Amino acid sequence: MRRSVLGLWVVGCLVACDDGEAGGGDAGTCNAATLIDQCPVGSSPVIGAQAEASCGGGAGLVQAADGATTGQCVGVAACRALCQFAVPCRCGVQQITAEGVVCASCEGAAACGDGVCAGGESPETCPVDCGARCEPDEVRCDGVVLEACSLQGRWDRLPCPAGEICVAEGGQGARCDRDPRVIGGEDAGVGDAGPPPADERIVPGEAPWPAVADRRVGQTPGGGFQAETFTVALTVGPSNTPSDFARARQAVGTCFEHRLGPAPATFECRGPAGWFTADFRGHPVPEDPENTIDSEVFCAAAAQCEGTPVDDCDAYVAEWRDRVGELRLRCIAAAIPGDCLTLAGLGCDVVARTPYPEDARFTRGAVVAAGDRVVGVGEDARQATWIDGAEVRHLAAPGELTFTQAVADATGDTAALLGEAGSDQAIVVWRPAADERRVVLARGVGRYGRLALGPDGQVLAARLQGDADPRLNQGVSFYDLASDARIFTLLPAADDRLGDGFAFSPDGVHFAVAVEPGGRVEIWDVAARQKRQTLAVPGGQAPQAFSFSPDGRVLAVISGPLSLWDVATGQRAQTVELVVPPQGGVTFTPDGQRAFLGGGVARRADFTVLRP
């Protein structure tokens, strides 16, 4: 029989109370820290009155009115905690361990959400099964207000922004469109190759819209995405020691972007000082995956330490690898002969990062990834750096300018850097591979704010402040970088303001911009100077980040939850609740078939994978 010795190495305990509490304890001796540590990864611990009210007489599972299991009570007597599950188990719990909660399969189960109103369900307890139904993505007009059917089959009201009403004409379905009373120039030029329609929100400039290149690639899964969430611990043990993942993240300077890794069930964390790869359990992955341990040597050393033979060596090593990861396992294997298993892992300093070259360290918040290339502002703000594999290029800031912001096109061929010197500002356009740079849009008054570069590097979008034309200060201006001239400025509607969040689509002609208040996103065809869609994001919160899919058909918006929108129809295709704040936006794979995002709080990081 194989003898498990994992517990001999792992430092920590899963008891709620100290010795004085073992016999029942009382509130005065309850150790809250060790009590909370009993909650599985992926749950939110609650102590105090809420735990008392929910847990009643003791430990056990907690169920909601619809029968879903929402948490677990741990501890005894007055020393209890409620471990609230991040995602309720609709059909019961299969297993709870320190690593997480495994929900039971709902296949064949009768429960709320199965599409059948039965078993005592009612419109109040189970509106999904018993309430009024509609087809998801169906839209209609209720007077001048747009309504859309949610994924739960219920009508959500999506009020149109100021200056717009709900219309349903011409077989295009219900949508928000400009109120005819505020359209200037009627519909002149629409569809007849004439001039763009006049609009009170457009301030024309001197340059025409250039013939931008279409960078769309891949395709969106026809059946949509399924969301899968996993949790990585940032601390371990009662003393909340930083985990290997947390230390690796700190070594790269915190992640400005998460993306799926090249191997299955792996992901990358990119930071201003480098990057690393981890598996979905949060174990950093070594750079040399082929140089693994010798299983037979490991088992022989373990047997000698414990004085008990290992019957199934492969299973024994697999259990260790699953628990501690490959990097720490290699360290333990090297330390076994001298320290045996009880102490072998305690001195392991797991270093897992791929640093940038020594002369390429970026300022946090002023670095972006474009494909496999990275471009950003150096730590001294006096130079910018571009990395393409082993090739590194530097750009010194001209004159007295210091760089404060960097943006790049879709491939990283072109970068735009904001330079400042007192009240003077300028945009430096840099093409590193060709070793070309130009200083454009130099200003002695006024200020640029947020920047975005079109996918082929021809058009720059910028927020303005202090311009001689006060109208421009409220909008987003588009510039043709070839001629250093403004094409036009997009202004907010009355009583609205444009937020700092905006992005170009891969085709170069669609532009998403946040609108406040009310948590809305507008999608414009900036080549035609026409608004195509208004998206009312869930919860009405201001959008934090946008990401277009590589084919430009889907817009991912983070605004508390993650919502996915069909760009062509303006319909919300999916909403994914996020239990911790995200870091960065959604990163799609180049083929558009998968996407990834993640974020963390003090003791854990949650990650979401979108798959077909």
Q: What are 284's strand-pairing partners? A: 278
- Token pair for 588: 């799609």
Interval 27-50 mean pLDDT: 71
Which of 491, 513, 546 represents a domain boundary (last residue)? Answer: 491
pLDDT of residue 200: 84
- Give the model confidence (pLDDT) of 474-498 as tens digits: 899 999 999 999 999 999 998 899 9
**Together in a domain, 377 and 466:** yes
pLDDT of residue 406: 95
Strand 520-525 with 510-516, pairing:
antiparallel
**Together in a domain, 414 and 481:** yes
DSSP 221-277: -TT--EEEEEEEESEETTTTEEPHHHHHHHHTTS-SEEEE-SSTTEEEEEETTEEEE
- Give the model confidence (pLDDT) of 387-408 as tens digits: 998 889 999 999 899 999 999 9
Q: Is residue 154, in this structure, part of any structural domain at all? A: no
- Token pair for 134: 């509609």
Q: Which residue has the higher pLDDT, 36 or 309?
A: 309
Lookup result for tokens 């208040």: 517
pLDDT at 187 over 70: no
**Together in a domain, 387 and 470:** yes
Mean pLDDT of the chain: 80
Q: Which residue has the higher pLDDT, 315 or 147?
A: 315
Strand 587-588 with 595-600, pairing:
antiparallel
pLDDT at 69 over 70: yes
- Token pair for 191: 């569809």
**Together in a domain, 389 and 339:** no
Q: Is residue 134, in this structure, part of any structural domain at all? A: no
Report the candidate in 512, 506, 497, 490 with the shortest Cα–Cα distance to residue 564: 512
Interval 365-393 mean pLDDT: 91
| Cβ–Cβ < 8 Å for 377, 366 | yes
DSSP single-letter state for residue 29: T
DSSP single-letter state for residue 283: P
pLDDT at 192 over 50: no
pLDDT at 194 over 50: no
Q: Is residue 424, in this structure, part of any structural domain at all? A: yes
CATH of residue 484: 2.130.10.10
Q: Is residue 472, in this structure, part of any structural domain at all? A: yes
| Cβ–Cβ < 8 Å for 345, 331 | yes
**Together in a domain, 330 and 385:** no
Q: Which residue has the higher pLDDT, 41 or 387?
A: 387
Q: Is residue 120, in this structure, part of any structural domain at all? A: no
| Cβ–Cβ < 8 Å for 491, 478 | no
Give residues with Cβ within 8 angstroms of 428, minimum separation 6.
384, 395, 397, 398, 401, 403, 416, 417, 419, 437, 438, 439, 440
User: What's the longest Cα–Cα distance across the chain?
Assistant: 90
DSSP 82-126: EEEEEEEETT-EEEEETTEEEEPP-TT---TTSS---TT--TTT-
Residue 455's pLDDT band, with cuts at 50, 70 and 90, is very high
pLDDT of residue 147: 78
pLDDT of residue 22: 34
Which segment, 20-24, 78-82, 405-409, is predicted with the most confidence on average? 405-409
Which of 103, 134, 159 represents a domain boundary (last residue)? Answer: 103
pLDDT of residue 326: 85
Residue 27's pLDDT band, with cuts at 50, 70 and 90, is very low
Which of 103, 123, 146 represents a domain boundary (last residue)? Answer: 103
**Together in a domain, 301 and 377:** no
Rounded-to-integer distance, Cα 67 and Cα 89, Å: 9
Q: Is residue 359, in this structure, part of any structural domain at all? A: no
Which segment, 242-246, 324-328, 507-511, 583-587, is predicted with the most confidence on average? 507-511
Which segment, 43-47, 80-84, 202-206, 240-244, is predicted with the most confidence on average? 202-206
Q: Which residue has the higher pLDDT, 77 or 455?
A: 455
Rounded-to-integer distance, Cα 320 and Cα 337, Å: 17
Percent of the chain with pLDDT over 70: 80
Four-residue CA torsion sign, 114, 115, 116, 121: positive
Strand 354-355 with 485-490, pairing:
unpaired
| CA distances in angstroms from 421 to 334, 363, 443, 465, listed in the order given | 54, 18, 11, 16
pLDDT of residue 600: 85
Reported pTM: 0.67
Q: State which amino acid sits at residue 413.
A: D
DSSP 114-165: SS---TT--TTT-HHHHS----TT-EEEETTEEEEE-TTS-EEEEPPPTTEE
**Together in a domain, 416 and 487:** yes
For residue 126, the Cα-to-chain-centroid distance in whole angstroms is 31
Strand ranges of the sheet holding 79-89, from the earlier edge strand across to the other edge: 43-46, 79-89, 69-76, 60-63
pLDDT at 416 over 80: yes
Interval 71-90 mean pLDDT: 80
Q: Which residue has the higher pLDDT, 103 or 124?
A: 103
Interval 20-34 mean pLDDT: 50
Q: Is residue 484, in this structure, part of any structural domain at all? A: yes
Rounded-to-integer distance, Cα 479 and Cα 461, Å: 7
Rounded-to-integer distance, Cα 596 and Cα 586, Å: 6
Count how many domains the chain has: 3
Residue 346's pLDDT band, with cuts at 50, 70 and 90, is low
pLDDT at 57 over 70: no
Q: Is residue 286, in this structure, part of any structural domain at all? A: no
Q: What is the CA radius of gyration of the chain?
A: 28
pLDDT at 38 over 60: yes
| Cβ–Cβ < 8 Å for 390, 419 | no
Rounded-to-integer distance, Cα 182 and Cα 253, Å: 49
**Together in a domain, 475 and 409:** yes
**Together in a domain, 430 and 478:** yes
pLDDT of residue 237: 83
| Cβ–Cβ < 8 Å for 439, 398 | yes
**Together in a domain, 384 and 309:** no
Rounded-to-integer distance, Cα 247 and Cα 351, Å: 8
- Give the model confidence (pLDDT) of 280-300 as tens digits: 999 998 877 677 888 888 898
**Together in a domain, 377 and 311:** no
**Together in a domain, 377 and 477:** yes
**Structural domain containing residue 47:** 6-103
